[in-house]
């Protein structure tokens, strides 16, 4: 695995000089750590650390799928420079232990979360090295501090799935459930305002066309890209084309051996009313590009928190092993950056993110009570009155099925 993914980086990474990193030396160090590793997770970490030395948000190890589903029972997010519990799964050990939305995470397994290392920490504990539990030092909205050991829930996956007969329908239902959770959602205030909750840039052109068609009937639109991790460049280009009358340049795609412009194509009937875009520290990649184009072209107002600063173009390079008689393939690989995106102001958003025109942050008390002052502020900017309490009820969070 080490040699497969590090060779892929040497062949495909957009910067042939690898930012000056002594790649061969890093690979040798990792080989030594793997030889001494006492567990699979430690060995995987040694491989991941090599890729992490590039300091690139989109170049990461994709380890083999685990034979279990793992859940700590809570979600966290950065707000400003502090880390908070965003929500707690009902019935989880986290809920039983008294962890609540709005609790500030002072330390997690001894680490202090910061904006600089938040994504790496989440990748470590949620993807690379899932733990039986986590030790949290929390500060409540009222200021009291406490330490809680939360136990993760593990559910074993099916080792072999029979998709003949009724089994295929179980698989289809699972896929439909996943698609349902990432659908666009809407709320309206007469014909003055349409609010679009856009969770990920994965819809087809037809779906984007449907979204823009809805937007066309309203005077103002608030496009909520908070917690949107990005996704398809085609979806990004399509959605941008729906809010500009003319062709707009997004930026330049800078590859190893060539540079090409990225441009939109306007819809015949797009949306030309007032536009407000919401972002936060979880808005990444295509979500950040969308917000920055709107900002640079002065097409609308960006509201919320500084975005993730994770904006590169990556491809997945897959490998597999095993597959002997009676055994399944083990699939692994790496997401590898094949291009940087340089905006029309000559700058990349990587490690920088988008700074909102209007900074609006929920407080710990807002998280605890389910208020959404950020969405309420956006509505105010287009002349619509909405309380934070009303805004917080528009899009109830939908937990994935266990």
Q: What are phi and psi of 335, to 5 degrees?
A: -80, 125
Tell me the pLDDT tens digit for each residue of 188-208: 999 999 999 999 998 777 889
Report CA-CA distances (Å) from 201 to 94, 215, 237.
Answer: 31, 17, 10
Pairing of strands 220-224, 104-108: unpaired
**Residue 158 pLDDT grade (very low, low, confident, very high; cuts 50, 70, 90):** low
* Domain presence at residue 40: no
CATH code, domain carrying 136:
2.30.42.10
| Structure tokens, 178 | 């996943």
* Domain presence at residue 53: no
Residue 56 near residue 349, CB atoms below 8 Å: no
Residue recorded with tokens 């797009």? 270
Q: Are residues 212 and 99 in the same domain?
A: no
* Domain presence at residue 401: no
Residue 229 near residue 217, CB atoms below 8 Å: no
Tell me the pLDDT tens digit for each residue of 86-116: 999 999 999 999 999 999 999 999 999 999 9
Whole-number Å distance between alpha carbons of 31 and 19: 21
Residue ranges making up the domain that contains 287 = 182-310+349-392
Neighbours of 311 (CB within 10 A): 27
Which of 26-40, 148-162, 235-249 comes out lowest in average pLDDT?
148-162
Average pLDDT score over residue span 30-59 = 95
Q: Are residues 97 and 206 in the same domain?
A: no
* Domain presence at residue 399: no
* Domain presence at residue 75: yes
Whole-number Å distance between alpha carbons of 114 and 333: 28
Q: Report pTM.
A: 0.92
Pairing of strands 329-343, 185-189: unpaired
* Domain presence at residue 339: no
3-state secondary structure of 222: strand
Residue recorded with tokens 């929390």? 138
Q: Are residues 139 and 214 in the same domain?
A: no
Confidence at residue 163, expressed as pLDDT on a 0 to 100 scale: 45
Structural domains of the chain, count: 2
Query: What element of type H or E holds 214?
Result: helix 205-215
């Amino acid at each position: 695995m080490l040699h497969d993914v590090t060779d892929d980086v040497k062949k495909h990474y957009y910067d042939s000089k690898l930012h000056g990193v002594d790649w061969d030396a890093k690979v040798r160090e990792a080989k030594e750590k793997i030889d001494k590793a006492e567990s699979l997770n430690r060995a995987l970490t040694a491989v991941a650390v090599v890729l992490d030395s590039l300091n690139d948000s989109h170049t990461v190890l994709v380890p083999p799928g685990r034979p279990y589903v793992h859940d700590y029972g809570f979600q966290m997010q950065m707000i400003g420079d502090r880390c908070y519990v965003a929500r707690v799964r009902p019935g989880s050990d986290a809920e039983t232990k008294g962890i609540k939305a709005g609790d500030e995470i002072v330390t997690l397994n001894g680490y202090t979360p910061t904006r600089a290392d938040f994504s790496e920490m989440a990748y470590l504990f949620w993807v690379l090295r899932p733990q039986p539990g986590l030790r949290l030092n929390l500060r409540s909205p009222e200021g009291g501090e406490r330490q809680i050991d939360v136990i993760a829930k593990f559910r074993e996956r099916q080792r072999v799935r029979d998709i003949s007969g009724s089994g295929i329908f179980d698989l289809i239902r699972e896929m439909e459930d996943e698609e349902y959770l990432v659908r666009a959602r809407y709320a309206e205030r007469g014909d003055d305002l349409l609010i679009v909750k856009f969770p990920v840039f994965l819809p087809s052109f037809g779906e984007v066309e449907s979204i823009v068609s809805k937007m066309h009937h309203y005077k103002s639109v608030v496009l909520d890209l908070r917690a949107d991790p990005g996704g398809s460049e085609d979806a990004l280009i399509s959605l941008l084309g729906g809010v500009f009358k003319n062709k707009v340049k997004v930026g330049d795609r800078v590859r190893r051996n060539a540079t090409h412009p990225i441009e939109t194509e306007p819809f015949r009937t797009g949306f030309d009313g007032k536009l407000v875009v919401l972002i936060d520290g979880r808005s990444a990649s295509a979500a950040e590009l969308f917000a920055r184009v709107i900002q640079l072209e002065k097409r609308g107002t960006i509201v919320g928190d500084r975005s993730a600063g994770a904006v590169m173009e990556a491809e997945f390079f897959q490998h597999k092993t095993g597959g002997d008689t009676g055994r399944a393939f083990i699939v692994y690989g790496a997401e590898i950056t094949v291009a940087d995106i340089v905006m029309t102001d000559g700058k990349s958003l990587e490690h920088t993110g988008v700074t909102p025109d209007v900074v609006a942050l929920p407080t710990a008390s807002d998280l605890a009570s389910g208020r959404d002052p950020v969405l309420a502020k956006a509505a105010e900017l287009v002349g619509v009155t909405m309380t934070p309490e009303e805004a917080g009820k528009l899009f109830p969070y939908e937990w994935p099925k266990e």
